[in-house]
Amino acid sequence: MDRQREIARTSFFMLSITGTLVILIEVAMNLSRTSLCISEGCKTVASQVRYGNITILLLGAAAFLLLSILSRPSSSKHGRRRDQIISMVVCAAIASEGFLVGYQAFRVHAPCWFCLAVCALFALMGILWILSGHWEVTTGFAGFFTILALFYLILPVPTGGESLADYIGQNRLTLFYSNACKSCEEIETLCKEGNIVINKVDADEHFDLLEGMDIYEIPVLFINGNEEKRVLIGKKKIAAYLSEME
């Protein structure tokens, strides 16, 4: 049994080192405006972090680094206080991942594969720490599923299209876009080249409005004409419509 626990502790340490290195690489790539994750979900999540994606990355790196330092193999006996701190950090990290996963699953409906990989690392570390004899970490998993469930149950129900006029106003063409959306940039370029006047609205700020109409893709173009009211979803349909206007 002692041998199994030592193997679990060693594996825990190796994963914490791996997590630290992976996040530090992502931090370096972010500083050079690149990323390990190239999916739209990663860009969407990153664009909605209050102080920039680097903030979340540094917090994750700090957590992994602290766990690496505390769990490093040593010839001396493992301290009880140190193990308690490790358990608290692991529980907090796993529970926090419940919020990030819930946000992706029930709010933006777009997976951030890098975030999910980090979540998997913390989950594996939690399992290893339990195998090393620290069953208190199960509370971290309980927190994860509780937060995930609350995100699903308590997420405000969108009001649908009743407030649509507030965002479209009197503009004939209104484009719902995101700074992290390449297709949105291409549509903006088409409008500039064709001298087409278009009103831009940040889709991230009005996600509930779009979700209420079962729209989970951007760009979205609202056409508010005297004789037609249309909603076009996706770059191809919007580009085709704009080409007819030129």
* Confidence (pTM): 0.66
Strands (E), 83-213: 173-177, 199-202
Residue 92 has pLDDT above 90, yes or no: yes
Distance CA(123)–CA(97), nearest Å, equals 9
- Structural element, H or E, at residue 222: strand 220-224
Per-residue model confidence (pLDDT) at position 65: 96
Q: Which domains does the chain have, with CATH numbers?
A: 2-154 (1.20.1440.130), 160-245 (3.40.30.10)
Residue 98 has pLDDT above 70, yes or no: yes
Structural tokens at position 187: 């549509």
DSSP class of 78? P
Residue 246 has pLDDT above 70, yes or no: no
Range with the poorest average pLDDT among 69-83, 86-100, 148-162: 148-162
Banded model confidence at residue 163, pLDDT cuts 50, 70, 90 = very low
Residue 168 has pLDDT above 60, yes or no: no
Structural tokens at position 184: 């949105």
- Burial of 12-40, coded b for 16+ CB within 10 Å and e otherwise, reads bbebbbebbebbbebeeebeeeeeebeeb
Residue 1 has pLDDT above 70, yes or no: no
Which residue in the block uniquely carries the two structure tokens 């692991």?
90
Q: Report yes or no: 155 and 212 within 8 Å, Cβ to Cβ.
A: no
Q: Report yes or no: 115 and 104 within 8 Å, Cβ to Cβ.
A: yes
Distance CA(107)–CA(45), nearest Å, equals 10
Q: Report yes or no: 173 and 220 within 8 Å, Cβ to Cβ.
A: no
Reduced to 3 states (helix: H, G, I; strand: E, B; else coil), residue 77 is coil
What are the phi and psi torsion angles at 105 (to 5°)?
Answer: -75, -40
Residue 205 has pLDDT above 80, yes or no: no
Per-residue model confidence (pLDDT) at position 158: 44
Q: Report yes or no: 183 and 235 within 8 Å, Cβ to Cβ.
A: yes
Per-residue model confidence (pLDDT) at position 40: 66
Structural tokens at position 206: 């009005």
Q: How far is CA 102 from the centre of its chain?
A: 9
Q: What is the pLDDT of residues 100-133, one digit of tens each?
A: 998 888 776 678 889 999 999 999 999 999 999 9
Banded model confidence at residue 184, pLDDT cuts 50, 70, 90 = confident
- Burial of 130-155, coded b for 16+ CB within 10 Å and e otherwise, reads bbbebeebebbbebbeebbeebeeee
Q: What is the pLDDT of residues 149-160, one digit of tens each?
A: 998 887 544 444
